[in-house]
Amino acid sequence: MNTRTLNAKMPNTPPNKVIKNLTESHSWIGIIISPLLFLIFWAGAVTLFYEEVKQWAVAPQFPVSMQQPAMPLQQIVEAKLAMYPFDYQEHLMVQMPSHYDPYYKVYLDLVREEGNEDDHGEVASLLVDSQSGKTVANKEDFFLGDFLYQLHYNLNLPAGTYIVGIISLFFFFALASGIFIHAKKLYRHFFQYRTDKNRRDKLLDLHNVVGVMTLPFTLMYALSGLVFNLAIVYQIAFVIFIYQGDQDSLFKDAGFTLFDEQRIEQPLDMTPAYKIIAETRQRDDFNISNVIFYNYGDEAAIIQIRGENLSHFSQNDEFFYRVKTGELLNKTDINNYNVFRKGREIIATLHFGDFAGVDVRILYFILSIAICVMIVAGNMLWLDKRSLQQNISARSIRFVRGLSVGGCGGLVLATAVAFLCERIIPASISMRSDVMVYAFVISLVATMLLAYRVDSKRRYLGQVIFATVAVLILTLLADWLMFSEQIILLWHDGFRAVVGVEVGIFLFIIVGIWAIKTLSSNNETRVAELTAEPALD
């Protein structure tokens, strides 16, 4: 008997058992982590354009007249210090304007309440017009970009960072198991998509093709997600076992400079600090992102300047100056950097697509959305397979359908609702960020609950996409009905991200309409197949 015949008669040989077990593990891990994995990739896809979304939300509300001369930074900062009870024992940070954002962001640590000196005090986060110096809003009032970004890396939960790290770990296993499962036909069936086969084969081909084509991208994200979200675990282990509890020594060896000098309570004119900042801003090869003041207004004052070195890939420079003497105390640049810190910056640059311009981020966005589609296809395959098994209860199927299909579709709809709320809620409402978050959560929960009561997954997805398209159309209409003049003015002043976000919304509407038509035609075909009479012999 030859080997081929033997294998045919022994389908449960050890290699087949391994593949079968891997397939079962891949399937269950995928369905368990799919809602959170979809959330991570979906929110990450949107926040690839974090700065553009922030400009879209804020700039039309408070347009900056670029024809006016800019107010000196020192005048702005000291005016804010006079208005708020700043704790001079703490630091003060200023985030600089950029070609995305025409505002200063001033962060002030306020004096702690009596009896709560050991707790971290309240922080005033001010959005300041760079021309007039007027505080136009609190930074947290426009929370859409930050909310979606936090969903991406910590799910807006207290222990969310660790949860995302664990999800990244399981995602890495799902990728590895998928490679082993399809190893033999990885290249032979690379672009196979069977349009003439049944619905399950089409979904399987879609899942596999997207999985193979995005493999380098997904591996990079799984590994970098592990580095970012579980780094605290390695840090604790290093502090305990290698550094004997000396956390400051760990940070120093990792390339993070710490200054803890106390105030000496001797007043100091801070003008030299602003001269250093002005000289640094004039450099063509350096882009300041933020400035941090320690011991402001005291002879022990130190300024920390952070920014991007435009002459090198993924190079963030950092300089510390003593204000009184102008002495350079410490620097981290291309000639003086730490391997650990440099490696982390490279990983961060790759993770966020923050290189080679907007083209790379558009490519990242397309790949991220493709992975979201792959997740939904995998969920539908699992539901189709389990619904045919007699030992699976209908209640279990409904639960998984609500959690996966309803959760994934609900996240898309909830994001559209959040965009609409960010646009139409007046800036004068103090709790506008909370209203936006509540609208997001209510939309998501309602979509998931409704998914428990429907029988057709495809028809329900079509309905969710239809609702999403309708909300996005309302968002575009609100944009131009409320802020048409401001948007045109921003475009002429060079702040074009607002229109860029609107173009992205419009393209998503087009794709949504195409998806609705595709799902509708597939549903009609499915109904025709089920109701067709059997052919006569």
Read off the tokens for 266. Answer: 């001797």
Rounded average pLDDT over 457-481 = 94
The amino acid at 89: Q
Read off the tokens for 225. Answer: 């997600």
Asked if the model's pLDDT at residue 469 lies above 90, the reply is: yes
Asked if the model's pLDDT at residue 536 lies above 60, the reply is: no
Question: DSSP 3-state assignment of 203?
Answer: helix
Residue 26 confidence (pLDDT): 80
Pairwise CA distance, residues 103 & 509, whole Å: 31
338-375 pLDDT, tens digit each: 777 777 788 888 888 888 778 889 999 999 998 998 88
Residue 28 confidence (pLDDT): 81
> How many other CB atoms are there within 10 angstroms of residue 508's CB atom?
16
Residue 412 confidence (pLDDT): 95
Burial class from Cβ neighbours inside 10 Å (0-12, 13-18, 19+) for residue 167 reads buried
Pairwise CA distance, residues 309 & 285, whole Å: 6
Pairwise CA distance, residues 81 & 86, whole Å: 6
Instruction: Answer with the residue of higher pLDDT: 193 or 7.
Output: 193
> How many other CB atoms are there within 10 angstroms of residue 77's CB atom?
23
Strands 103-109 and 92-95: antiparallel
Read off the tokens for 168. Answer: 């990244």
Positive or negative torsion for Cα 138, 143, 145, 150: positive
419-451 pLDDT, tens digit each: 999 999 998 887 899 999 999 999 999 999 888
Residue 3 confidence (pLDDT): 42
Positive or negative torsion for Cα 224, 411, 449, 458: negative
Contacts of 429 (CB under 8 A, 6+ apart): 435
Pairwise CA distance, residues 106 & 92, whole Å: 8
Tokens 């409704």 belong to: 450
Residue 183 confidence (pLDDT): 67
Q: Under a CB-based contact definition with an 8 Å cutoff, are residues 413 and 471 in contact?
A: yes
Residue 241 confidence (pLDDT): 65
The rounded mean pLDDT for the chain is 83
pLDDT tier at 195 (50, 70, 90 boundaries)? low
Pairwise CA distance, residues 498 & 491, whole Å: 8
Asked if the model's pLDDT at residue 172 lies above 60, the reply is: yes
Asked if the model's pLDDT at residue 300 lies above 80, the reply is: yes
Q: Under a CB-based contact definition with an 8 Å cutoff, are residues 132 and 68 in contact?
A: yes
Helices first, then strands: H and E counts in the chain: 18, 8
Residue 23 confidence (pLDDT): 79
Which strands, in side-by-side order, build the sheet including 302-309? 135-138, 123-129, 103-109, 92-95, 286-294, 302-309, 316-322, 328-332
The amino acid at 36: L
111-168 pLDDT, tens digit each: 877 655 555 678 899 999 988 899 988 888 899 999 999 999 889 888 888 888 888 8
Rounded average pLDDT over 244-270 = 76
156-170 pLDDT, tens digit each: 888 888 888 888 888
Contacts of 416 (CB under 8 A, 6+ apart): 468, 471, 472, 475
State phi, psi for 445 to the nearest 5 degrees: -65, -40
From residue 411, alpha-carbon distances to 28, 126, 244, 407, 465 in Å are 22, 30, 45, 6, 11
Asked if the model's pLDDT at residue 43 lies above 80, the reply is: yes
* Helix 457-492 vs helix 497-531: crossing angle, to nearest 10: 160
Q: Using only C-alpha atoms, what is the Rg of the chain?
A: 27
Pairwise CA distance, residues 134 & 127, whole Å: 8
